[in-house]
Structure 1
Amino acid sequence: METRLAVRLKEPNPLFTRWLERWLREAERRQQKSQFKLRQALEALKCYPLPLYSGRDCAILRGFGGTLCQMIDEELRQHRVVNLLPPTATTSEQYEQQVQQVVRKVQEKQEEQAQKKKQREKKPRKPTKKDLQEMAAAEERERRVEMPPGSFEILLLVDIQETSGKNKRVLDQTRSYLESLGAQHEVRRLTIGDFLWIAKDPAGNELVLPYIVERKRMDDLASSIRDGRFHEQKHRLKQSGLKHVIYLVEDYGDNEQLGLPLDSLQQALANARVQNGVQVVRTENHFRSMAYLASMSRSLAQIFGQKTLHSVQDKAESCCLLTDSKLGLLKFRALYDDSAKNAQLTVREVFVQQLLQLHSLSLERAMAIVERYPTPRCLLDAYEECVEAKEARQLLARIPYGPLERPLGEKVSQCLHEFYTTQFR
């Protein structure tokens, strides 16, 4: 790599400076008026960073009049005669020598730094605590785990938010209900879902069974639909890699004063069941919900207890039939890290989440749009290619979505066009 040097000499014009200092002392001794001009010229000469080769060159500086320039030229001629120097050799050669000295010093310093860098690279850097943790996590994810039949237990994991009520006066009865029903469980922080099941062996290895539960009360369901969380949660649950997604929905008293009409909530649950393949389970109250989870724990223990379980790294590899004697499951740690809300998202995933925040945009409609236009940039480019504004407004109207492949419609298409083409100021 080339290095650009900015060379600044400490004293670019030593001869001229020495002569001016001599003339200034004589003028001060004789108390001549020229001392003021000489002092001004000397200060300007010392501030000038480049070498000057004659009195004529000095004329560009403050304080150098015609007389002073002639005095310098005359002094310069005498100096060359005495020292037998060719014209212009006095200052230019000195300048070149000083430049070469600077270049050599810089090159020597660069070589010294390069040697030190090589020595540092040869010497292994002591890994930090964070490096060790990342290495251990990577090794843990790659390490293959296999659990023979009977060597593990099925454990229900409960999200920590399910064990403490929103109100300190009303403690959530989740844990006490599960204990009374004899369901083996453990409270942890889950990054996705409220409940899931793991197979745990004596060595501490944990594999996730392909079932995950999102528990909602009817009033919570209405709230999540209003603020858009319902569609986002469905999308995240489907992307988790667990094949069986269950919505456990509890009644809220007589299901009155929910914030949305009951018919709208029932339609949303029906859409989730039909269009998203989500299993919806309705219960009367909290205790009935915990009884359902305890029953699921017993059933899963019977189904998976006599099978050989092994770990897989890819979500696609976790696809298995319950009739198989050997099943591939994801590790809990991998699911936890990959499903974290703060995990790095692709532009496509962010685009889906952005669309879900818009009114009338369900997950099926958002996914249909993203299939055609994977990023907002692709959609904006498509708008720009439209010849007329009417064509752009109807660009998305005929995109099919859902199992029935219905078109998105002109209203949704116009709303999206207005949203993505309006400039906010």
Structure 2
Amino acid sequence: METRLEVRLREPNPLFTRWLERWLREAERRQQKSQFKLRQALEALKSYPLPLSSGRDCSILRGFGGTLCQLIDEELRQHRGLQLVAREEAPVVQEHYEQQVQQVIRQVQEHQKRQDKKPKPRKPTKKELLEQAALEERERVVEMQPGGFQLLLLVDTQETSGKNKRVLDQTRSYLESLGARHEVRRLTIGDFLWIAQDAQGNELVLPYIVERKRMDDLASSIRDGRFHEQKHRLQQSGLENIIYLVEDYGDNEQLGLPLDSLQQALANARIQTGVQVVRTENHYRSMSYLAAMSRSLGQIFASKRLYSVQRGTLDKSICVLTDSRLGLLKFRALYEDSAKNAQLTVREVFVQQLLQLHSLSLDRAMSIVERYPTPRCLLDAYAECPDAKQAGLLLARIPCGPLERPLGEKPSQCLHEFYTTHFR
């Protein structure tokens, strides 16, 4: 980028200025009318940026009449001498001008050197431009007027693929037969959710999300710790209404866990985290429930004005179903944020690790993690014990489960041996 500099002499005509100032003071002292013309001429002379060599040259300026120009020429002759006027007039003025020009050139060169030393701005990369565009898109406020959008049920791709693809493909066929408008997409959280979609392609997520589980899958997720991790992620999603859609598995026999334990886990989830649990007899009944939800939500939201909000500003007061204007998350923001949250925390990994050990149930693992959130905390606690015997009994008295029964000496000793043995 080029820098434009203005070259302006500080005082191009010092002699003429000094003479006019002297004549003006005399005119003011004598209260002569000529003071007004002299003041006007002095202001014009000070504003003129170039040197003048004679009174005649001054005639181009305002206020300089013929008499004033002659006075200047006479003063010049007296100042330099009649013999030297023709020879010395131009060099004196020229020398003064060149000195000031050289000074300006030096200033320009110093300014350019300082500019060259400054770091030049780096051109953003394509990735940075895309990230900036994505950020601006996330911050852009979307508004939807009543009648300007339609509701769509999103089905996670995991519901239409897997080991038993024939059974899982029934999800789509059931929804189609029930008249539920839906679309299959990859969801980073939950199995089903609803969005409001306008003609411009903007998508806002309704505050409802469904996690579908068959009873045998529920038992498996409790055993390996996925149940706790999924509940945590659903609670962090920003969607207020979390629904567990639980299907019976035949006669609910051979589930891998006692039926009472599964029902207790669902009851705990409902009481402790506020999730809604819906039980159905089979796959078709589950899809019928989702289709009915789609119809109900369509009636509720048809007359609403919707607008987008950031996850950090989302609270229950923004989405009250009795209000005519509701704040909702953008689908893209929910998708990206949930994908980031899919990375397990150290605490969650610790729970899953504990569940791999024999005789450790979810209640026992959660009780240990409540006291020692990470393996490092547990190892530090072992190190503070005076001897190995007391370290082996460190966890024995930790209360576990609703009845708060102690963990016991044998599991405590097994855990101590597992975490303190060095394998080679």
What one-letter code is carried by the residue in structure 1 that aligns with 2:123? R
SS of aligned partner of 1:340? helix
Q: Is the 8 A contact 2:233 2:341 kept in 1?
A: no
CA distance in 2, matches of 1:141, 1:398: 50
The aligned runs of 1:17-56 (5 Å cut-off) are none
Separation in 2, partners of 1:243, 1:416: 38
Equivalent residue, structure 2, for 1:237: 234
CA distance in structure 2 between the partners assigned to 1:307 and 1:141 by the alignment: 22
Tell me which of 116, 123, 126 is aligned to 1:125. Answer: 123
Q: Using the alignment, how far apart are the partners of 2:234 and 2:122 within structure 1?
A: 43
In structure 2, the residue matched to 1:186 is: 183
Deviation of residue 295 (structure 1)? 0.9
Counterpart AA for 1:176 = S
Alignment of 1:157-196 (within 5 A): 157-164=154-161, 166-168=163-165, 170=167, 172-196=169-193
1:421 alignment partner in structure 2: 420
Mark the structure with the bigger radius of gyration. 2
Are 2:303 and 1:314 aligned? Answer: no
Count of residues in Structure 1 that have an aligned counterpart in Structure 2: 306
Q: Counterpart of 1:360 in structure 2: which amino acid?
A: L
CA distance, structure 2, for counterparts of residue 317 and residue 178 of structure 1: 31
Seen in structure 2, the aligned counterparts of structure 1 residues 330 and 349 have a Cα distance that, compared at 3 Å, is farther
Cα distance in structure 2, aligned partners of 1:387 and 1:379: 15
Q: Tell me if structure 2 keeps the 8 A contact 1:212–1:242.
A: yes
User: Where in structure 2 are the equivalents of 1:2-401 lying within 5 Å?
Assistant: 122=120, 124-125=122-123, 127-128=125-126, 130-164=127-161, 166-168=163-165, 170=167, 172-314=169-311, 317-320=314-317, 321-340=320-339, 343-355=342-354, 357=356, 360-362=360-362, 370=369, 372-389=371-388, 391-393=390-392, 395-396=394-395
- Residues 61-107 of structure 1 deviation map (CA, whole Å, 9 limit, x = unaligned): xxxxxxxxxxxxxxxxxxxxxxxxxxxxxxxxxxxxxxxxxxxxxxx
Paired residue secondary structure (2:311):
coil
Q: Distance in 2 between matches of 1:357 and 1:328?
A: 42
Q: After the TM superposition, which of the residue ranges 200-209 and 347-356 deviates more from structure 2? A: 347-356
Is the partner of 1:164 in helix, strand or coil?
coil
Helix, strand or coil for the counterpart of 2:239? coil
Q: Distance in 2 between matches of 1:238 and 1:137?
A: 25
Taking structure 2 as the reference length, the TM-score comes to: 0.61
Describe the shift of the 1:210–1:122 C-alpha distance in structure 2 as closer, same or farther (beyond 3 A). Answer: same
Task: Please give the per-residue CA displacement for 1:182-221, whole angstroms capped at 9, x wherever unaligned.
Answer: 2121110011111011122222222222221111222322
Structure 2 CA distance, aligned partners of 1:215 and 1:232?
A: 15
| Aligned partners of 2:159 and 2:168 also within 8 Å | no
Cross-structure match for 1:97: none
Quote how far apart the aligned CAs of 1:123 are.
5.7
* CA–CA distance in structure 1, aligned partners of residues 405 and 310 of structure 2: 37
Q: 1:387, 1:178 → 2: CA distance?
A: 64
Q: Deviations over 1:322-377 (max 9, x none)?
A: 33444332221122122227855554454455455555353x76666555544332
Q: Percent identity?
A: 76
Q: Cα deviations across residues 288-343 of structure 1 (Å, max 9, x unaligned)?
A: 11010011112222333333333232356243443344433222112212222785
Q: Which residue of 2 aligns with 1:84?
A: none
AA at the equivalent of 2:326: L
Conserved? CA contact 1:393–1:414, under 8 Å: yes
Which consecutive residues of structure 1, in runs of 5 or more, have no partner in the other structure?
1-114
Unaligned runs of 5+ in 2: 1-112
In 2, Cα distance between the equivalents of 1:328 and 1:297?
Answer: 19
Mapped to 1, the partners of 2:122 and 2:200 lie a distance apart of: 33
Partner secondary structure for residue 191 of structure 1: coil
Cα distance change of structure 1 residues 166 and 349 upon mapping to structure 2, 3 Å threshold = closer
Deviation at 1:395, TM superposition (A): 4.5
State the secondary structure of the residue aligned to 2:314: helix
Asked if the contact 2:149–2:198 (Cα under 8 Å) also holds between the matched residues in 1, the reply is yes
Three-state SS of the structure 1 residue aligned to 2:246 is: strand
Post-superposition shift, 1:253?
A: 2.5
Residue 40 of structure 2 corresponds to: none
Q: Is the 8 A contact 2:354 2:360 kept in 1?
A: no
SS in structure 2 of the partner of residue 150 of structure 1? coil
| 8 Å Cα contact 1:250-1:285 kept in structure 2 | yes
In structure 2, the CA distance between the partners of 1:259 and 1:140, relative to structure 1 (3 Å rule), is same
> Structure 1 residues 344, 235: closer, same or farther in 2, change over 3 A?
closer
Relative to 1, partners in 2 of residues 1:375 and 1:266: Cα closer, same or farther, differing over 3 Å?
A: closer
Matched residue, 1:86: none
Question: Which residue does the alignment assign to 2:14?
Answer: none
